[in-house]
Amino acid sequence: MEHQIIISSFVLLPLLAFVVSLLLSDKNENSFSRLAFGMVSIHLLLISTYILYWILGGMKPENIRELELYNNGSYQFLLDFYFDKTTAVFLWVGAFVTFLITRYSRFYMHMEEGYKRFFNTLLFFYLAYNLTVLAGNFETLFLGWEMLGISSFLLIAFYRDRYLPVRNAVKVFSIYRIGDIGIILAMWASHHLWHENITFIKLLDEELVSEHLASHGGIGLFIAVSLLIAAAAKSAQLPFSSWLPRAMEGPTPSSAIFYGSLSVHFGVFLLLRTFPFWEHQLTARILIGVVGLLTTLITYPIARVQSTIKTQIAYASIAQIGIMFIEVALGLEVLALVHFAGNAFLRTYQLLVSPSVVAYMIRDQFYHFKPKNITLEDTLPKRLEYSLYLLSIKEWNLDLTLNRWVFSPIKKLGRKLDFLTPRNLLLYFLPVYSFGLFLYFNQDWIPEWLRDYLPGFFGLLGMLMVFKAFSERSYPRLAWMLVMANHFWIALAVSFNETFDYSQTLIYLSGVVVAGAIGYWALDSLRKKEKNSFDLNQYYGHVYEYPKLSLVFLLSALGVMGFPISPTFIGVDLIFSHIHEDQYILASFDAISFIFGGIALIRIYARLFLGPHVKNYHPTALKSS
């Protein structure tokens, strides 16, 4: 019982501090900065004491079934906490680094516009960090994983009146969401492999894991590859490495805590947490090791030639994390944990002193310039040396490659659906959806050979609507309605699989309908006030004049995308549990729709409410600032 109370407090204490920070006035900087620093200090002391007590007690893994959010007999959504050596290391390093950053930020961010907003977001991130690290099953981990994604977006876009921070925040959030496809598909396949919401402590039972993988080797490899995709995206491994330097647009403290020390290592954490599952899958271990090796070989020379200190640190950190991937693939768990702690402390220090180092090096080079000695690269053939230099200075075109092969094809496909205007959406969507409902209630009329294809077909229609929303430039309300419509298509597609209680569909769609209606009202209100600056062709910065409307719309967008503030979050996992284990196409369609729908919604928010203000009588930053 005492373990349950203490471990639960590791999440409840940051949650309490975050809620209180929202209620404090933004006129007094000391109030919420002292609250944040005091909470983190107590948290660090509590964690250090408990870890010492746990070590003296024999370091036995602890699993706590914390809270049952939903249970219909065949499906259970459970918040589950788990504490082992991986949790202990990540928890203590996170608490200590956050302690340093909070102390540093009290003075670094002094008199900064948005001082309170920074500490609100910092506390929200710390809550998400602890929830993810303590997660005892995939559902709890995904809860914290999603919270980390949105807190990343908010911290990168902290300077929301500037072009580059907002643009890069959307880019980083988009890559994070692509990685989330791996988590969602891993959760779906895991339900069918174990026929339950498996807890991580059960994965320590080698006999149980071997027994299931022996008869379901294909599903096991699918889960391992899905986890690798999620880990690679979160830790900026190939082919997702280009997002980390772009994330440095936020304040230096957020760069240090997020992209230097803590958040960027969550890919390593995910692999360590699920290691007992895939450790006997040779193919998975080889893939993880190869991804880490290629990332290290490519990003190390990139770091050597960068002209900005934050970019150098970013790519150097990516290279080190690539080595951690290799260590995990080789089964060197303890070495990977030590490596994580060392890299986290080093990058935090480098980023926090980077402004002073830049100033020092400018003066030093001015007065004491000396040409560099011959390096290892100078011993290579000149053609090879120059080729490597040019590729590294261009960052191997990683950003361009990702846009060309992922985002551009989806935008092109979405533009093929330009006939879907707001008027045509009602003309086409309602009749076709009504026909789908008619078929659902009269399935005896459907030929047997056709019935198996209907779920995939309806899932495809929903995905196409999301692609249209993702590429939409003229009508924000249309993009909003298309994302909402996608959820209805998903519910219809899965309904054809089997007969299940309509209350499950209601749980899934209730959050979409309520949040969707509020979000549509917010968009319509903004359109009436700003008719000449209400499209998605640029960033308009309307948060400057409509901060409350901006907040309402952001919360609505989070509700529609299935963020953990509405029943839709549980509903998404509930709906996926009804997708059969052989329906990989339907699961992929639904996962892609869920992910790109979230990107489309954040893109609407960013373009309408963030960025330089469109009205020239307000001070705005240059695009290059």
pLDDT tens, residue by residue, 262-293: 888 899 999 999 888 888 888 889 999 999 99
Looking at the structure, do residues 219 and 333 belong to the same domain, yes or no?
A: yes
**CA-to-CA distance for 295 and 516, rounded, in angstroms?**
41
**CA-to-CA distance for 519 and 521, rounded, in angstroms?**
5
Region for 174 from its dihedrals, namely left if φ exceeds 0, alpha if ψ lies in -120 to 50, beta otherwise: alpha
Whether 544 is covered by a domain: the verdict is yes
Looking at the structure, do residues 54 and 166 belong to the same domain, yes or no?
A: yes
The per-residue b/e assignment along 257-282, b for 16 or more CB within 10 angstroms, e otherwise, is bbbbbbbbbbbbbbbbbbbbbbbebe
The stretches of 109-137 forming alpha helices (DSSP H) are 115-133
Q: Tokens for 470, please give them.
A: 């993702």
Looking at the structure, do residues 65 and 164 belong to the same domain, yes or no?
A: yes
**CA-to-CA distance for 296 and 238, rounded, in angstroms?**
9
- The answer to whether the bond into 239 is cis (omega within 30° of 0) is yes
Q: Tokens for 82, please give them.
A: 């788990």
Query: Residue 247 pLDDT > 70, yes or no?
Result: yes
- Half-sphere exposure of residue 616, counting CA atoms within 13 Å on the CB side? 0
Looking at the structure, do residues 287 and 429 belong to the same domain, yes or no?
A: no
C-alpha to C-alpha distances, 281 to 199, 221, 276, 324, 460, nearest whole angstrom: 20, 7, 10, 18, 32
Give the number of other CB atoms < 10 A from CB of residue 359: 10
Confidence at residue 121, expressed as pLDDT on a 0 to 100 scale:
87
Looking at the structure, do residues 353 and 432 belong to the same domain, yes or no?
A: no
Query: Residue 623 pLDDT > 70, yes or no?
Result: no
pTM of model > 0.75:
yes
Looking at the structure, do residues 47 and 178 belong to the same domain, yes or no?
A: yes
Calculated CA dihedral for residues 338, 344, 346, 348, nearest 10 degrees: -160
Whether 621 is covered by a domain: the verdict is no
Whether 299 is covered by a domain: the verdict is yes
Whether 452 is covered by a domain: the verdict is yes
**CA-to-CA distance for 521 and 528, rounded, in angstroms?**
11
**CA-to-CA distance for 235 and 148, rounded, in angstroms?**
13
Confidence at residue 619, expressed as pLDDT on a 0 to 100 scale:
60
**CA-to-CA distance for 612 and 625, rounded, in angstroms?**
11
Query: Residue 625 pLDDT > 60, yes or no?
Result: no
Looking at the structure, do residues 295 and 233 belong to the same domain, yes or no?
A: yes
What would the pLDDT profile of 309-358 be if each residue is shown by its tens digit?
788 888 888 999 999 999 999 989 999 999 999 988 888 888 887 766 65
What would the pLDDT profile of 14-60 be if each residue is shown by its tens digit?
889 888 888 887 777 778 788 888 888 998 999 999 999 988 888 88
Please, which pLDDT band fits residue 367 given cuts at 50, 70 and 90? Answer: low
Q: Tokens for 515, please give them.
A: 């949040």
By residue count, the chain amounts to 625
Q: Tokens for 471, please give them.
A: 């590429």
Sorted by sequence, the CB contacts under 8 Å of residue 525 that are 6+ apart come out as 549
Looking at the structure, do residues 27 and 141 belong to the same domain, yes or no?
A: yes
Do residues 192 and 579 touch, judged by C-beta distance below 8 A?
no
**3-class DSSP string for 23-40:** HCCCCCHHHHHHHHHHHH
% of the chain at pLDDT higher than 70: 91
DSSP assignment letter at 538: S
Query: Residue 377 pLDDT > 70, yes or no?
Result: no
Whether 223 is covered by a domain: the verdict is yes
Confidence at residue 462, expressed as pLDDT on a 0 to 100 scale:
87
Do residues 177 and 596 touch, judged by C-beta distance below 8 A?
yes
Looking at the structure, do residues 425 and 354 belong to the same domain, yes or no?
A: no
Confidence at residue 438, expressed as pLDDT on a 0 to 100 scale:
81
Confidence at residue 621, expressed as pLDDT on a 0 to 100 scale:
58
Whether 369 is covered by a domain: the verdict is no
**Among residues 336, 363, 390, which one ends one of the domains?**
363
**Among residues 318, 346, 363, which one ends one of the domains?**
363
Q: Which residue is it, tokens 């299935």?
A: 562
Whether 43 is covered by a domain: the verdict is yes
Domain residues for the domain of 279 are 2-363
What would the pLDDT profile of 499-524 be if each residue is shown by its tens digit?
556 777 788 888 888 999 999 999 99
What would the pLDDT profile of 60-97 be if each residue is shown by its tens digit?
888 887 677 776 666 677 788 888 899 999 999 999 99
Confidence at residue 604, expressed as pLDDT on a 0 to 100 scale:
92
**CA-to-CA distance for 158 and 160, rounded, in angstroms?**
5
Do residues 199 and 80 touch, judged by C-beta distance below 8 A?
yes
Looking at the structure, do residues 255 and 335 belong to the same domain, yes or no?
A: yes
More confident call, 326 vs 113: 326
Whether 617 is covered by a domain: the verdict is no
% of the chain at pLDDT higher than 90: 15
Looking at the structure, do residues 171 and 66 belong to the same domain, yes or no?
A: yes
H or E element that contains 158: none
Q: How many domains does the chain have?
A: 2
Looking at the structure, do residues 476 and 574 belong to the same domain, yes or no?
A: yes
Please, which pLDDT band fits residue 375 given cuts at 50, 70 and 90? Answer: low
